[in-house]
Structure 1
Amino acid sequence: MQDKEMMKLFESGLRKSEILLMIWKMWLKSVLGVVSKRGGFKSILKRFGCMFKEGVDLHKIGSEIQNIATDISTLRSSLETYNIRPARESGAGGVSFEHEMQQRLRRTYSHIVERDVVGLEDSVKELAMHLVRSGDGHRVVSIWGMGGLGKTTLAKRVYHDKEVRQHFDCFAWVCISQRCQVRDVWEEILVKVSAVQRTEIAQTRDGEIAKKLHLVQQESGCLVVLDDIWSIETWESLKAAFPLCAETKSRILLTTRNEEVSLHSDRNGFLFQPRSLNDDEVGNS
């Protein structure tokens, strides 16, 4: 079953079950209302005279609710296969199913490199130079520009550049996007740049994770790519894990649509804005 079909079935199932439960509650309320009114014994008997038929209907409703509950349980199990959580109330700080699906579709992966884009060689060379060059004070190299400009594509080329791979000791690529889960980002980076296992991290407090990640980058030459940072607030929530003021070989390469994020992340950092590619530079895949 495709993800979109799964999402539609899940959401429609929830709506249907909510309606049936509402009908059940309304029926109970109506019965209690008759008993509490001063309509006398005759009124109560008349009301309960209809209960047999309603009871049959409610039995059908109850069976339908049970069937829907079973379907939802099956859907939940299937969704767990995709590592997707069901919808929750947004007011309680939850992430909706639909939004999480969008986040997953936006996620980027370092090993998937677009081969049909040309004309990036000079840009890759310039960015690589600022990452590997020592003594210039750069801790953060930023690629910024509007959506669709090719920031992530360029960052991948730099990430896999031969000179860059030879210069750094360890590498980590993390897609941030709009909803940043700070601990998840730190964990993912720490696992990639160190020998720490996820089972060990699970028992570690957030502050200790940030401290370990900071120390690893300070002692080794790590290149960490933070792809698609949307806001200054997101950067502020992440930066405690990075040795921005220490003498280190490690560097951060980030992509963002917001120039303010680039300016704020490192006062001495290098900002790069890709130019728009023309039709001749983008081939057909």
Structure 2
Amino acid sequence: MKNQQLPDHHYQRRSGTNLIVRLNTSPRLSIVLIILSYVILLIVSYSLGYLVGSSFGVKDITTFVISKTSATSRHSFPSSSEPQYSKYATQCAKQVPPEFVRQTIIDRVYNGTSPYEDFIPQKVASPLLPIKINGRGSYGMIYQSLIQDVRPRTIIKFRSSLVVSATNMANLTSQLGLKTQILCLDEFHSWPVFRDLFEDIAMPNGGILLLNQFIENVITQNATESIMPVPLSASLTSEKLCEWGIYGDLIEVNGGHDFHSAWSDINKAYKLLTPGGILFGHNYFSSYYDKGVRQAVRLFARVNKFRVKTDGHHWIINSA
């Protein structure tokens, strides 16, 4: 009886049991299996993350920037399918003829009266300098070159505290016989290092007389018919210009040096650019704020499929 052979399935069950016993009693093999399980889990997690990121990640965040399209679509109200953060508050109007740009600004911003009329109020006359014009690169050959190429009827300048490059452009357009209107968008307030750069500008009662000094400089340069200050936030004013139908053939972006400020200004400026117009600005090779200007310009050009050209420390983007 003891030597009686057992059925085959009994041997199979016993063999399986022995295998389990061997596995459970082999610490080295158990460690290998645990490590292998973690590796498989890591690969699966990475694959899922990559697929989700490709569908909902950076691509959707950056492509909301206005693409290189026709002037009509760029100046029109975005469709309801576009992300909310790419929309302007109002629909852009049909372009105002260049000869009506100046009066439109006077009517809309100054209630119909030119800021140069009856200037200067007596209470601010004494602190003003007869003329205060300076600025790095504001008389570079780039201005002459761009104006000769574009022959602009309307120039828009984002940030223009002391009318430096604006008066230069006014002289250049006048020499070419162009009747060009130059709009300078600026709040005309100070910034953190303002006192280090302009110690001789008065600061009565804690206020900076930048707008008054700007107007004094324009009058001194006999450029009141060519240059018009718009003393409002450049970011908010750009939307209003779009609403009023005022666009620029040549737009200079001269704002903050950090990435976010430059990125915002460049995109808003592009909204106001006429077909074939040119955007440009300076500080492209500046190391300020981790090269923020250069990063913003390069990203904008890459998203919109433009080429970036440089001239000295200026960057240039031709939309043609």
TM-score over 0.5 for the alignment? no
Which TM-score applies when normalising by structure 2? 0.28
Which TM-score applies when normalising by structure 1? 0.30
